Amino acid sequence: MERFADFYQRSIEPQTRDGFWQEQAALVDWHQKPVQICDYSNPPFARWFVGGQLNLCHNALDRHLAKRADQAALIAVSTETDTEKTYSYRQLHAEVQRMAAVLQSFGVGKGDRVQIYMPMVAEAVFAMLACMRLGAIHSVVFGGFASLSLASRIEDAQPKVIVSADAGSRGGRVVAYKPLLDEALKLSSHKPQAVLMVNRGLAPMDLRAGRDHLWTDLRSKYMEAQVPCTWVESTDQSYILYTSGTTGKPKGVQRDTGGYTVALAASMPHIFNAKAGQTFFCTSDIGWVVGHSYIIYAPLIAGMATVLYEGLPIRPDAGVWWSLVEKYRITHMFSAPTAVRVLKKHDPEYLRKYDLSSLQALWLAGEPLDEPTAQWISDALQVPIIDNYWQTETGWPIMTLCNGVEQQSSKFGSPGKAVYGYNVKLIDDKCGQELTAPNEKGVLAIEGPLPPGCMQTVWGDDARFVNTYWQSIAGKQIYSTFDWGVRDAQGYYFILGRTDDVINVAGHRLGTREIEESISAHAEIAEVAVVGVADALKGQAAMAFAVVRDASKVSDAQQRARLEAEVMKLVDSQLGAVARPSRVLFVTALPKTRSGKLLRRALQAVAENRDPGDLTTMEDPAALVQVKELLHSWV
Ligand code: ATP
Ligand code: MG
């Protein structure tokens, strides 16, 4: 086996890069082979596998039929409706063709947009794959969003058809989607030609004659539908997906077809050590990039079974995911630190009750994985816990420990090393120079071209793509991740926070993440967010908002003062007094996005008495209200 260091080098050197990706392209079925691997004649726009023609749905389904038609492809589990259904590759192929025929009957064809606003049900997967089959572009909007977020995405993507459902359900509470969709359609100036509704029988729906249709009615007309795959150019768009909106207005990430298919296909052996016939369980939502790539496309491209799970990780109890691992002999699991922190509040015995011997490893992504959380889940599961760092923009991991020897040497708190294909750099944000010595802090950046699978541009806005992400440094085009990090002497990276969140205390630049990591080492702290707040004396001061494990321990002012002093002392001893938060405030919840990321910008704005801006992606508005009240009570 080639050493990873050589494999990596080959993937990024301009002389060997094309050969490297040509090899990876062989993992994919092409209708027409590419004539050029990478066209980077118009930087920063990279065109991968130029001249190649393929179909993503063909690669995910059709090509497996000869060998594994009766093997499980999709295992749809809902602990909200108490249903479980397994679709074989043959059955999934049939359902996708029915869905494709229905979409076609509304006039959907190559290049048309279809918006998918759905809970975690199998029909959402049919719809996404059906779009790929027709060469249409999907735009999946997370089902937890309400009408305003939905309306802005309808305006932006201009879908011909919207596919939705009567309702989703979360923790046993039904959330009706149709009224939110109707409201969004009123707010939006763009009107789709048709709305296709999946009726789960959870909430009543008003159907508008002429516009709204029921999936079950139309499906029955197309039971035997055979819809051939539309071959598209490698560089034709596959989908649009909006970033999480943690730092501001979400960006519509536009993805190609060939580069994405190859990148995902290659990631299965090289990152996940995954093979056909195994079972992948990614606990994300189809509305996020992790869900697009690792609930749906990558496992199916690899000929695996994939688990689609609707429900909470702790209902009916905190053992539910692990019971699925036992039942379906799940080999690969992918989740987020936020989910592990939820589990961590429960007895680890729940995880040990089941036979987890099939499980090879657990990958976690989406936000920093703090050491105590990593240690807890590692002890409970006894499998490698592998942090991986990426973005909606990239579509697949930028940093992790790739398959092979490297996974044995993980360092908690680090997502590992740069993944093949990504020419990762650290840039000094003041002088714009590349930092090459170990342990220097800088902005994490990627030298162009971005590897296959990454965003092509911002949907409908090339200028925004160039202006937002790219800068020219010493004649090279450099993509900024807007994350702040450091690399140690062994090449392991540590993410220190977002560049927006860097705190400048009396000229010292500190990542919020560093301070958070230090505070979360305190046994009584369950979760913490640190923000920089304007300070007349020091420029900025760190302020911490902490959730304690046991609220009764901070019920009076004296207890709070004790714990606050302890936390400050801990930071002093680990990072030095310069990083010490000016205040540690105790709250019961932190403001987060719907995908579980801390909304530090909102905390910071409230702490500085500013307008917190666009909060449409916020999960629980009460968390911010609490912070406001707290700040006012001690000011
Ligand atoms: P927006 O770009 O709209 O502000 P967002 O950056 O939260 O939202 P995503 O693309 O969902 O949108 O998230 C990517 C970001 O999440 C990364 O840039 C990084 O800040 C954070 N992140 C993801 N994985 C990790 C990880 N393993 N460790 C630390 N941070 C991570
Ligand atoms: Mg981002």
How do residues 179-233 score in pLDDT, each as one tens digit?
A: 999 999 999 999 999 999 999 999 999 999 999 999 999 999 999 999 999 999 9
SS3 66: helix
Which residue has a Cα nearest atom 21 of ligand 1? 367
Write down the pLDDT at residue 255. Answer: 98
Residue 19: CB atoms within 10 A of its CB come to 12
Ligand in nearest proximity to the CA of 245:
1
- pLDDT tens column, 483-523: 999 999 999 999 998 998 888 888 888 888 889 999 999 99
| Helix 371-381 × helix 512-520 angle, to 10° | 50
pLDDT at 634 over 60: no
Residue 555: burial class (beta carbons within 10 Å; 0-12, 13-18, 19+):
exposed
Cβ(160)–Cβ(196) under 8 Å? no
Write down the pLDDT at residue 408. Answer: 59
Residue whose token pair is 């093979």: 275
Q: Tokens in use for 30?
A: 């092409």
CA of 469 to the centre of ligand 1 (A): 14
Instruction: Tell me how many degrees the CA angle 600-483-292 measures, rounded to the nearest 5.
Output: 90
CA of 32 to the centre of ligand 1 (A): 35
Q: Is 291 in the pocket of ligand 1 (CB under 6 A)?
A: no
ipTM of the complex, rounded to two decimals:
0.99
Pocket test for ligand 1, best of 284, 391, 422, 513 (most atoms within 8 A of CB): 391
Q: Is 495 in the pocket of ligand 1 (CB under 6 A)?
A: yes
Q: Is 139 in the pocket of ligand 1 (CB under 6 A)?
A: no
- pLDDT tens column, 158-172: 999 999 999 999 999
pLDDT at 327 over 50: yes
Q: Is 245 in the pocket of ligand 1 (CB under 6 A)?
A: yes
CA of 483 to the centre of ligand 1 (A): 8
| Helix 600-607 × helix 621-634 angle, to 10° | 30
pTM for the model stands at: 0.94
Which has the minimum average pLDDT: 87-96, 107-116, 494-503, 557-566? 494-503
Residue 22: CB atoms within 10 A of its CB come to 15
Per-residue pLDDT, averaged over 547-569, amounts to 94
Write down the pLDDT at residue 247. Answer: 76
Per-residue pLDDT, averaged over 235-246, amounts to 93
CA dist., res. 193 & res. 217, Å (int): 18
Q: How many residues does the chain have?
A: 635
Q: Which residues surround ligand 2, an ion (CB under 5 A)?
A: 243
- Higher pLDDT pick, 500 / 572: 572
Q: Is 391 in the pocket of ligand 1 (CB under 6 A)?
A: yes
Which residue has a Cα nearest atom 3 of ligand 1? 245
Write down the pLDDT at residue 166. Answer: 98
Write down the pLDDT at residue 624. Answer: 92
Percent of the residues in the chain that have a pLDDT greater than 70, as a whole number: 99
Cβ(630)–Cβ(587) under 8 Å? yes
- Higher pLDDT pick, 346 / 75: 75
Cβ(604)–Cβ(628) under 8 Å? no
CB neighbours of 107 closer than 8 A, spacing ≥ 6? 160, 193
CA of 497 to the centre of ligand 1 (A): 9
Instruction: Tell me how many degrees the CA angle 320-323-325 measures, rounded to the nearest 5.
Output: 115
Q: Is 370 in the pocket of ligand 1 (CB under 6 A)?
A: no
CA dist., res. 339 & res. 336, Å (int): 5
Which has the minimum average pLDDT: 48-52, 112-116, 319-323, 502-506? 502-506
CA dist., res. 232 & res. 111, Å (int): 10
Which has the minimum average pLDDT: 160-174, 284-298, 598-612? 598-612
SS3 87: strand
Cis ω before 397 (30° cut-off from 0): no
| Helix 557-575 × helix 512-520 angle, to 10° | 120
Write down the pLDDT at residue 360. Answer: 96
- Three-state secondary structure along 299-329? HHHCCCEEEEEECCCCCCCCCHHHHHHHHHC
SS3 410: coil
Locate the ligand 1 atom nearest the alpha carbon of residue 242 and give its number.
3
Per-residue pLDDT, averaged over 298-323, amounts to 97
pLDDT at 407 over 70: no
CA dist., res. 586 & res. 520, Å (int): 13
Rounded to the nearest angstrom, the gap between the alpha carbon of residue 178 and the centroid of all alpha carbons in its chain is: 25
Locate the ligand 1 atom nearest the alpha carbon of residue 415 and give its number.
27
CA of 367 to the centre of ligand 1 (A): 6
Alpha helices (runs of H) in 298-404, residue ranges in sequence order? 298-301, 320-328, 337-343, 349-352, 371-381
Residue whose token pair is 């939905």: 150
Locate the ligand 1 atom nearest the alpha carbon of residue 513 and give its number.
29
456 DSSP 8-state letter: -
pLDDT at 561 over 90: yes
Locate the ligand 1 atom nearest the alpha carbon of residue 250 and give its number.
3
Strand 194-198 to 212-214 pairing: parallel
Write down the pLDDT at residue 596. Answer: 84
CA dist., res. 385 & res. 220, Å (int): 45
Q: What value does the mean pLDDT of the chain take?
A: 94
Write down the pLDDT at residue 345. Answer: 86
CA dist., res. 360 & res. 606, Å (int): 43
Q: Is 494 in the pocket of ligand 1 (CB under 6 A)?
A: no
CA of 321 to the centre of ligand 2 (A): 29
Residue 14: burial class (beta carbons within 10 Å; 0-12, 13-18, 19+):
exposed
The edge-to-edge listing of strands for the beta sheet with 457-458 is 212-214, 194-198, 161-165, 113-117, 137-140, 237-242, 252-256, 457-458
Q: Is 483 in the pocket of ligand 1 (CB under 6 A)?
A: yes
Q: Tokens in use for 554?
A: 């901070």
Q: Is 392 in the pocket of ligand 1 (CB under 6 A)?
A: yes
Ligand in nearest proximity to the CA of 368:
1
Ligand in nearest proximity to the CA of 398:
1
Q: Is 517 in the pocket of ligand 1 (CB under 6 A)?
A: no
How far, in Å, are 67, 210, 276, 322 from residue 307 at the CA level?
A: 20, 35, 14, 13
Cβ(4)–Cβ(11) under 8 Å? no
Signed CA dihedral, 100, 104, 109, 115: sign only: negative
Confidence of residue 404 (pLDDT cuts 50, 70, 90): low
Single-letter residue type at 102: V
Q: Return the C-alpha torsion angle 161, 163, 167, 170, nearest 10.
A: -120
pLDDT at 128 over 90: yes
CA dist., res. 12 & res. 527, Å (int): 38
- Residue 167: phi and psi, rounded to 5, are -165, 160
CA dist., res. 450 & res. 425, Å (int): 12
CA of 433 to the centre of ligand 1 (A): 24
Which residue has a Cα nearest atom 1 of ligand 1? 245
CA of 497 to the centre of ligand 2 (A): 11
Residue 176: CB atoms within 10 A of its CB come to 15
- pLDDT tens column, 1-56: 568 889 999 999 999 999 999 999 999 999 999 999 999 999 999 999 999 999 99
Write down the pLDDT at residue 635. Answer: 42
CA of 246 to the centre of ligand 2 (A): 7
Cis ω before 372 (30° cut-off from 0): no
CA dist., res. 143 & res. 154, Å (int): 14
